[in-house]
Amino acid sequence: MRDAAMRVKGGMLGGAGLVALVWAAQVRPSARLDALFATAAHLSGLLAGYGVLVVLFLMARVPAVEHGVGADRLARWHARGGRHVLLLCFGHALFALFGYAVHQGVDVVSAVRDLFGYPALAAAFAGTALLAAVGVTSARAVRGRVSHETWRAVHLLVYLAASLAFGHQLAGPDLAPAGWFWALAHATVAVLLVWYRAVVPVRQALRHALRVAEVRIEGPGVVSVVVYGQHLAELRAEPGQFLRWRFLQRRLWHTALPFSLSAPVQGHTLRITVKALGGHSRRIRRLRPGTRVIATGPFGALTAARRTRPKVLLIAGGVGITPMRALFETLPGGPGEITLLYRAGAEEQLVLRSELEAIAAERRAGLHYLLGSSDAAYDPLAPQALLALVPDLTEHDVYLCGPPGMAEATRSALLRAGVPAARVHCECFSF
């Protein structure tokens, strides 16, 4: 996974370097202030356009990339890249505005009025405004106040913003020597997006004919959804992976959310376990048997392929138990080689408990419940506590899944306890 991430990151940086070379090939050295502004606008504009392509590619759901890098890491790169794109867009606009004002000998207000007379520039402004709207709804201070459905709807504006920006780029002189390459890059990303986010889901829906078989109450606010279908072996879904699920029922059909398999694929059935964290997930408990389902995937790299050691420690927090439960059942290992630590606030919050205890008894695997409030003076996931539960902790691979705060703190504790970073495997999401 580390190698795949390095290759993807290297490819992105290499592309940025190529864009910089295109810019450098066109630079006409000049000490005039308007020329300096224009040169800076040229470079920031090219990099912003390239950045838009990168953030779209990262979310194109290309299986080879998601499996190799990890969907959570791609999401973090996407978010960070989006912030950089916004900064580049604003920088490009300001450099271009000041350069025009200096060149024409007018004030900034007059320059703004003049520039809005050009249709391509008006389109670029509209595209930047749309990207800014996406950035605002993704900011931490705002993200927690809007529903996932609203956030997703606003995020779809990125496609329109990219289209407007593309038209602006082709209308300008910046890409004259390499316009064909720029158009090819946009076409490639567009094809990947359409193929993996539209064609593949429809094709899988027709092939597997998924429907809801049963909805079971697992605990307070937690349900398991059993889905049946055809040719499920062709999905090659592994324990630890997730699919993006779209339930074709009123108030649910318009949104697809990632849920991990909470059990290995069995014959004609798949199972997910969902905690009510938002309006969409709360409605899942009211699914009717027979409801059609579109499931895209599988995605995720938290699988047995990450394993490097005979002994494995699984650490789950909250509903993060779902992929851990599937791995707990299926990871190869003899007595004492597989251990599961399950962190929850109270005993009644434990999900799939009877299944976990049956698996532990059958496999003679370790199972420990770490209960208590997160603000308690004693932290059961502190380095000393982990070493007390698992004395040979440094000899283990560690699989970790839970809420972002808990996962980050636990990863830090594992590193302080002496577990090498390369042996801490984590995929964690927040919505």
Q: In this predicted model, what pLDDT tens digit does every residue of 162-181 receive, in sequence order? A: 777 776 666 555 555 566 77
- The pLDDT confidence band at residue 155, using thresholds 50, 70 and 90, is confident
Fold: same for 209-299 and 304-426 = no
Q: Of the candidates 345, 343, 284, which has an alpha carbon nearest to the alpha carbon of residue 317?
A: 343
Q: Which residues contact 374 (CB under 8 A, 6 or more apart)?
A: 345, 406
Fold (CATH) for 304-426: Rossmann fold (3.40.50)
Give residue for tokens 């989006």. Answer: 82
Tokens of 333: 């290992």
- Map residue 424 onto helix, strand or coil: strand
Distance CA 162, CA 154 (A): 14
- The pLDDT confidence band at residue 139, using thresholds 50, 70 and 90, is confident
Of 131 and 270, more confident: 270
Mean pLDDT computed over 206-222: 88
Rg (CA), the chain: 25
Tell me the per-residue pLDDT of 24-64, one tens digit each, with 9 for 90 and over. Answer: 877 777 778 878 888 888 888 888 888 888 988 988 888 88
Crossing angle, helix 33-58 and helix 157-171, to 10 degrees?
A: 140
Continuous H helices in 105-244: 108-115, 119-138, 140-143, 148-155, 157-171, 179-194, 200-208
Tokens of 52: 């838009």
pLDDT of residue 282: 67
Q: Is the peptide bond before 220 cis (omega within 30 degrees of 0)?
A: no
pLDDT of residue 277: 62
Domain ranges of the chain: 2-199, 209-299, 304-426
pLDDT of residue 1: 59
Instruction: Tell me yes or no: is domain 209-299 CATH 1.20.120.450.
Output: no
pLDDT of residue 27: 76
Strand 269-275 and strand 222-228: the pairing is antiparallel
Structural contact between residues 250 and 194, judged by C-beta atoms closer than 8 angstroms? no
Tokens of 129: 């405004």
* pTM of the predicted model as reported, rounded to 2 decimal places: 0.74
Structural contact between residues 388 and 378, judged by C-beta atoms closer than 8 angstroms? no
- Map residue 41 onto helix, strand or coil: helix
Q: Is the peptide bond before 298 cis (omega within 30 degrees of 0)?
A: yes
pLDDT of residue 326: 93
Residue 226 has pLDDT above 90, yes or no: yes
